[in-house]
Amino acid sequence: MPFEPILLARINKPNSIQLNGYRADGGYATFERALREKQPLEVVTQVKDSGLRGRGGAGFPTGLKWTFLPKDHPGPIYLCINADESEPCTYNNRILMEKDPHQVLEGIMISSYAIRSECAYFYIRYEYGDAYRNLQAAIDECYAAGLLGKNIHGSGFNLDIYIHRGAGAYICGEETGLIESIEGKRAWPRIKPPFPAIEGAFRKPTIVNNVETMACVTQILRRGNDWFKSMGVPPDPKNPRDAGSYGPKLYTIAGHVNEPKCVELPMGVTIRELVEKHGGGVWKGRKAKSVNPGGLSMGFAKCDLALKGEDGKTEYDIPLDFNGPGKIGCLGLGTAAITVIDDQTSMVDVLHNVCQFFSHESCGQCTPCREGTGWMLKITDRLRRGQGRREDLDVLVDVADRIGMMPGTTICGLADGAGWPVKTAIRKFRQEFEDVIRSGAKSVHSKSLQLVDAH
């Protein structure tokens, strides 16, 4: 059977952003039914059993995160929605906020009821002007209709939703940096533990979820767990830590393709299918040299069709579920935003662009990240000016390996995200870097791949 989009089903309707249009399509009936028929713990259990994993990047099981809240806490408990979406070339959340805000709001209402939160903060990046205006209009409609406020539909459940606009800082995509920003402070990530579920916003228990995750909650409660688990990739029996990759996913396609777009597909679609079928192929009749599988911080896949693994597949054929990119040395699925780099673009230029972004966005709190991202930018700048040395490549990989939360040198994962594209680019395209160093030629910085400002 052909796949039928659910999360994006309404985005092309004339009244997709209005309450009456959402109501006509059955909107908020699921939330109202949950208020009447389900206890909060039942909603938590259903979301946990659905296998939904957070769509913001880490892929942590959503329902399991909700269970980390202290039992019988007197409150307040907060829900924070991460709509910062600052990963370059990522616009999954923007589509939902601009085109179907009520679907997201219904998910927030259901989630708030489940975790017993009476206050939700919607943290949105400042650059998303249309999304902010549409969301605020939708929230105002909900208050007027009695879907928000005190004693909603006589259930005794209260909920207020506040939009908090960020200042365009990448670090606010990290949940504790986001919380610090909501509190009116500099967005420096916090040392964990305690985790936000124990001590988050205003030092109270807090759950931080992604926009797309909230849309999935709406559909899981509406359509059931069997529907959600009917698509995607089940757990790997050889990997006891694999929780599976169930449900639909929003993938964005950007870079050197004929048709940049956001598409909804079942978890596990391959890079090749996304580029060639849904992205219209590589632009100008060229071939793909590399693909970034889920935001810049995930690293690079090498699209050399001659390099086949033991299974007979290339990195171009890797499935984009939560496990697939890790099998080719990438950090993970991330935001599922792929960026295509054609065979006429210099990886030296691409890497310099990437290092420029992460150096600029490092908050500076942790020395390894602050200094390491700066070192990597200086070295890649030297490479593209034709003054590189072969040992620079080893230094870059060494720095990339040594900074980050995973080796235990930083508080948050920004440094890991800065290091992964560096080490994957050099390890997979080392010959190209060595050729540039050997020739001593200056690189012409590519303006055809605007990775830093791709929104």
* CATH number of the domain to which 271 belongs: 3.10.20.600
- The answer to the question of residue 378 being in a domain is yes
Residues 213 and 285 in one domain: no
82 domain residue, yes or no: yes
Residue 30 near residue 47 (C-beta atoms within 8 A): no
8 A C-beta contact, residue 101 and residue 17: yes
Q: Residue 236 has what pLDDT? A: 87
Q: Are residues 299 and 379 in the same domain?
A: no
355 and 334, same domain (yes or no): no
Strands 232-233 and 160-165: unpaired
pLDDT tier for residue 238 given thresholds of 50, 70 and 90: confident
Adjacency order of strands within the sheet including 119-124? 160-165, 119-124, 78-83, 206-210
CATH number of the domain to which 394 belongs: 1.20.1440.230
Q: Is the pLDDT of residue 445 over 70?
A: no
Phi, psi of 253 (to 5 degrees): -120, 125
Residue pair 443/437 in contact by the 8 Å Cβ criterion: no
Is residue 77 located within the same domain as residue 100?
yes
Q: What is the pLDDT of residues 406-442, one digit of tens each?
A: 999 999 999 999 999 999 999 999 999 999 999 876 6
284 in the same domain as 432: no
Instruction: Give the span between the Cα atoms of 131 and 57, in whole angstroms.
Output: 21
In angstroms, rounded to a whole number, what is the distance separating the alpha carbons of residues 12 and 99? Answer: 8
Q: Is the pLDDT of residue 127 over 90?
A: yes
Q: Say whether both 213 and 299 belong to one domain.
A: no
- Whether 323 maps to a domain, the answer reads yes
Does the residue 363 lie in any domain? yes
Q: Which of 342, 362, 383 is the last residue of a domain?
A: 342
Residue 147: partners with Cβ closer than 8 Å, 6 or more residues away = 28, 31, 109
Domain that holds residue 156: 19-226
Mean pLDDT of all residues in 390-399: 96
Can you give the pLDDT at residue 374?
Answer: 97
pLDDT at 448: 42
Residue 162 backbone phi and psi in degrees, to 5: -120, 135
Say which residues have a Cβ less than 8 Å from residue 141's Cβ, sequence separation at least 6: 18, 19, 102
> Any idea what DSSP says for residue 338?
E
pLDDT at residue 452 greater than cutoff 80: no
CA distance 75 to 70: 10
Does any domain span residue 283? yes
> pLDDT tens, 193-220?
999 999 999 999 999 999 999 999 999 9
CA distance 267 to 250: 9
pLDDT value of residue 397: 97
> Six-digit token pair at 200?
């988050």
Domain containing residue 76: CATH number: 3.40.50.11540
- Let me know: does 307 contact 320? Beta carbons within 8 Å: no
Give the pLDDT confidence score for residue 57 in this predicted structure.
84
State the CB neighbour count (10 A cutoff) for residue 303: 23
Number of domain units in the chain: 3
Any domain includes 237: no
- Taking the C-alpha atoms of residue 269 and residue 292, their distance in angstroms, rounded to an integer, is 15
CA gap 74, 69 in Å, rounded: 11
Q: How many residues does the chain have?
A: 455
Residue 9 lies in a domain: no
Residues 59 and 134 in one domain: yes
Position 198 in a domain: yes
Nearest to 409 by CA among 365, 360, 352: 365
Which one of 168, 199, 226 terminates a domain? 226
Q: Report pLDDT digits (tens) over 319-332.
A: 999 999 999 999 99
Give Cα 103 to chain centroid, integer Å: 18
Which pLDDT does position 454 carry in this prediction?
42
Q: Tell whether 60 and 84 lie within a shared domain.
A: yes
Q: Residue 297 — pLDDT band, cuts 50, 70, 90?
A: very high
Q: What is the per-residue pLDDT across 145-199, written as a single tens digit (0 to 9) for each?
A: 999 999 999 999 999 999 999 988 999 999 999 999 999 999 999 999 999 999 9
The predicted-structure confidence for 370-385, as pLDDT tens digits, reads as follows 999 999 999 999 999 9
Distance between CA atoms of 372 and 335, rounded to whole angstroms?
24
The pLDDT score that the predictor gives to residue 453 is 43
The two three-digit tokens of residue 19, written as one number: 């309450």
Q: 327 and 366, same structural domain?
A: no
Q: Which of 138-142, 224-228, 260-264, 306-310 has the lowest mean pLDDT?
A: 306-310
List, for residues 243-255, the tens digit of each pLDDT value. Answer: 999 999 999 999 9
394 and 266 inside one domain: no
Whether pLDDT at 103 is above 90: yes
Bridge-partner residues for 252, per DSSP? 262, 337
Residue 358 scores a pLDDT above 50: yes
Q: How many CB atoms sit inside 10 A of residue 374's CB?
A: 16
Single out the residue in 289, 323, 342 at which a domain terminates: 342
Q: What's the pLDDT at 447?
A: 43
Stretch 96-106: mean pLDDT, rounded? 98
Report CA dihedral (314, 317, 323, 325) to the nearest 10 degrees: 70
d(CA 8, CA 29): 19
For the cut 90, the answer to whether the pLDDT of residue 307 exceeds it is: no
Q: What is the 3-state secondary structure (H, E, C) of 54-77?
A: CCCCCCCEHHHHHCCCCCCCCCCC
Q: List helix spans (H) across 224-346.
A: 225-229, 271-273
**SS3 label, residue 306:** coil
The answer on 107 and 205 residing in a single domain is yes
Average pLDDT along the chain: 94
> Chain-centre distance of CA 27, in angstroms?
25
Task: Name the residue among 354, 369, 320, 360 with its Cα closest to residue 429.
Answer: 354
Residues 111 and 35 reside in one and the same domain: yes
Say what the pLDDT of residue 110 is: 98
